[in-house]
Structure 1
């Protein structure tokens, strides 16, 4: 199938879907991998493409969050919107590049609602926070895709593989994508992605799909000082080009409308079904 035919099929699936909003969760195994930076830059790149983008931040408030890095002060959180205390337009803060940012502290009863029912834009990116046991929140489990961010170092690769194992056994995940961040040598990054994909397929029966790599950016701290992403502040930089390329490719990832990252548990059997099952077992 050519790329044009694939894009047409993808467009048809979106037309038939109940929601046109695509939702992706982005996470990392531990601090220092750059998951928030990657999430913000991809959000900025998507916004530059003319997409309506919402960034839900499971890390809440404080230093290092997307809102703090952009110098924003959201008036509310996703729970406030879900409980109808306020509207999403009033709760979210909008960055200079057009991305709407809303805190979404995980594991809150109010977050059982699908955010796609509260906002009908193009893309929702969840800056996901794993719990102490390395599991996804209920919000992140609703995503269409999970993207893991990792550095091209031995310790980060080992931690990522261990985290994939935990996610696989906790949620029965069959497919994940990953981004290699802060790459000095593209060929080395390719070796990392190949090895990780082979290990996931061979030992876990999990499809680990490379989502791309981002070259190391010497002006990353300068962009942060300006309260902007590299994509906004230094659009001609190699890292900005990498983020734009990944954002473009995201639009071509296969999409399963209505399908969540984690399948819901089976519904409890009705009394009649339970009786029939008992009879069948007895026979």
Structure 2
């Protein structure tokens, strides 16, 4: 067999090989930052791309959680699945947008639970909740990527930077991505992303990777009243376009080495 044919055969095998499940933890940096909103919209955008998406809702059953916004009521939780009380199919529920949702309140499921074993094909999004000390759950710590969501306001940026420092010291964080949400002035948001990335590198020796921005859309309350995300209710809106761009970019994020992003 010639080298060209061998290279083509190897390339075809890689193309047809099953893709590993990617786990992305999304966390809002402060009240109203929009972490859950981002997690839900990202899930919708990925489904629209043909991805198989499971959202693990660490905020359920609180007001504003994915389960509450989508008005869905799963029959079980991640703990039920991990402890073999229910199958995943029997515990989760599929929202109208196509995202599968499973409650995953922190501190209930075993710390060793790996969502990749439950969802072997597609993307798992952890809508992450911080504990009282600003730390992540073992589930979120084990994600391939951590995406922090913040607003483009001085108070939000200050709070986000303090939270990033806390994550760095609590978990040995070396790299994360961040998303600016609710942007009105795109140029100003770009400056914020550059300044935050530089501050992380200079003062924390931490790689802060901008994941992009999501523009403000006044129709967001209308979408919530419809029990939908902006990506579902108004797919042509600027925010929906930005979430689809984020979902597309995510497919090109480099894979980490064979270890969790965050240390325990």
TM-score by length of 2: 0.92
Query: What does residue 41 of structure 2 align with?
Result: 41
Q: Following TM superposition, by how much is the alpha carbon of 1:29 offset from its aligned partner in structure 2, in angstroms?
A: 2.2
Query: What does residue 180 of structure 2 align with?
Result: 180
Q: Following TM superposition, by how much is the alpha carbon of 1:258 offset from its aligned partner in structure 2, in angstroms?
A: 3.1
- 1:247 and 2:247 correspond: yes
Query: What does residue 207 of structure 2 align with?
Result: 207
Q: Following TM superposition, by how much is the alpha carbon of 1:13 offset from its aligned partner in structure 2, in angstroms?
A: 10
Quickly say closer, same or farther: Cα 1:193–1:78, change in 2 above 3 A. same
- 1:52 and 2:59 correspond: no
Separation in 1, partners of 2:119, 2:72:
20
Separation in 1, partners of 2:143, 2:85:
24
Query: What does residue 221 of structure 1 align with?
Result: 221
Query: What does residue 132 of structure 1 align with?
Result: 132
Equivalence map 1:85-234=2 (5 Å): 85-234=85-234
- Residues 82-127 of structure 1, C-alpha deviations (whole Å, 9 max, x = no match): 0000011111011111100011011235242111112223100000
Deviating above 3 A after TM superposition, structure 1's stretches of 4 or more consecutive aligned residues are 11-16
- Residues 57-93 of structure 1, C-alpha deviations (whole Å, 9 max, x = no match): 1112132000110111111000000000001111101
Contact 2:230 2:240 in 1 (8 A): yes
Aligned length: 254
Quickly say closer, same or farther: Cα 1:22–1:13, change in 2 above 3 A. farther
| Greater gyration radius | 1
SS of equivalent residue, structure 1 residue 157 = helix
Query: What does residue 259 of structure 1 align with?
Result: 259
SS of equivalent residue, structure 2 residue 59 = coil
Separation in 1, partners of 2:153, 2:49:
32
Structure 1 unaligned runs (5+)? 1-7, 265-283
- Residues 103-160 of structure 1, C-alpha deviations (whole Å, 9 max, x = no match): 1011235242111112223100000001111111011011000000000000000001
Query: What does residue 280 of structure 1 align with?
Result: none
